[in-house]
Amino acid sequence: MRGKTIREGTSARPPKDRRDLLTAGVTLAAVVLVVASGFTVAGSLLRSFRGELSVNDNLMISVLLLNVALSLLGWRRYRALKGEVALRRAAEAKASELATSDPLTGLLNRRALAEGGTRLIERALGRDKSVAMLMIDLDHFKSVNDLHGHLAGDQLLRAASDAIVAPLPADALAARLGGDEFACAVLFDPSQPMAIDRIADDILARMAQPFLIGGVEARIGASMGIARTEPGCRTVDTLMRRSDIALYAAKRAGRNQRAWFDASMERELELRNEIELGLRAGIPAGQIVPWFEPQVDLATGALIGFELLARWEHPELGILEPSLFIPIAEESGLIGELSMSVMRAGIEEARHWDPSLRLGVNISPSQMRDSWLAQKIVKLLSERGFPAERLEVEITEAALFENLGFASAIVGSLRNQGVRVVLDDFGTGYSSLTHLRALPLDRIKIDRSFVLRMAEDADAAALVRMIVSLAQSLGVPAMAEGVENAEIATMLGSIACPTAQGWHFGRPAPARATRALLAERGLLNAASPSAKAGALTMRQAARRKRA
């Protein structure tokens, strides 16, 4: 009894205990009456048959009848108690089952896996064997759950658990840890780790097959991390922690695959956790700041806008590139907060630019699952007084076509408010001509991987030419990313690509350097403090020159 001492727990008898005492008392009384009066009553009965009854004999017969009644009462109570005991045992068995198994799939739960895994490890140590822990996470389960409902999700979990258990040996343990995460503990010969590889590959192959759920075909797949007992790793907790680290590595490597634990993974995870903690503190502190990469008109060389990029001004490590922290922000659910924070700062800076300049902002795939994304962006524009038509929202092919119907609604909402929508990294996804015609796009950005190879790869150059031609036929202007030299810029101009960006036109720069560039070109908003300061500086320089 939680919160009570033993003494407090036994100080008062519950009603059932009192009923048991009463039953025992009645039964004892009946036995005593039988023993004490049995022979006397028997004699009275014989005399009654001979017609020699006395007053005492009548009393004895009454005692006999009372004894019979008490015996019947005791027997009836015995049967009731027997039924209660059976019910109690059934309830205890059910409670024990619930305490050790997952009610949805029938597999073990985390607690039972820990207990059974400990016994399995003890067996392994006594027989020169090893134990492998397979940590399994279903890929894309959330999408199925969101699309088809929780009932379909539950059916899928049951089907997935069957697929996981099927290749396991009879003495293996299988558990559902929660959500879409499973774990298996398998005894094996340490000289034959290939046996675990075969089991793991069999499970992954089964998970890659389509599941028929309620007449609907669902495809998910799975990622798996594997760890084994060895010196320094002989507890269930350590095995599960290491297999979880390996699972994370498998997911980062592209999902639908397995990875064995390696010590280097632990340090990598520690670094990842440090970055996540730093982001949680750094985003609200304003450490993630906007940088700006110029975009130009290829025909005239004029600036037409900037792409907003994120940099982390880390207090100890200096300026950090987005490739280091953006994936972690995605995984940890911080990308929405980070993106809106940088967008807010970028829009505030762009208010000081010439009204002809546009600002391009990137939207992550996870943000495209936010049904309130369009409203958040429009609200931000309204709060900052920034014209919607000067903002370009860049969405990758993968994010746009993951859920085309949902993405179309977001795109439509943004364009209805005047925000321009750009298809980013075009050529790397699975866009069809039908998709491109259906979506109201304002620009197509050609992926830098093709543009960078134009000068030495004829196939890449032909592909870029084809994309530019396709964009022209759709009435949507194209923009080339990754232009790093004059040769590529000239090639793009020769195929009538209208706009471009890349280091050839200017590297990404922080807000202060971008303002200086715009001030030199007379492209700051005349009403902005920076423009006034720049004009004052120019007048002072002119006076000094005349003097």
Tell me which residues are annotated as active site.
481
Task: Give the residue among 320, 322, 314, 318 at the shortest CA–CA distance from 286.
Answer: 314
Look at residue 520 and give its three-state secondary structure: helix
Cα dist from 271 to 296, 317, 478, whole Å: 38, 13, 39
Instruction: Give the integer Cα–Cα distance in Å for 522 and 111.
Output: 68
Residues 6+ apart with CB under 8 A from 430: 397, 401
Cα dist from 199 to 134, 391, 535, 538, whole Å: 10, 52, 73, 74
Structure tokens at 316: 């100890």
Q: In 101-109, which residue ranges form alpha helices assigned H by DSSP?
A: none
Segments of 321-477 assigned E as strands: 358-363, 391-396, 420-426, 443-446
Dmax over Cα atoms in the chain, in whole Å? 157
Residue indicated by tokens 């039972």: 112
Give 524's DSSP letter: B
Structure tokens at 194: 């290939």
Cα dist from 14 to 10, 85, 407, whole Å: 9, 16, 63
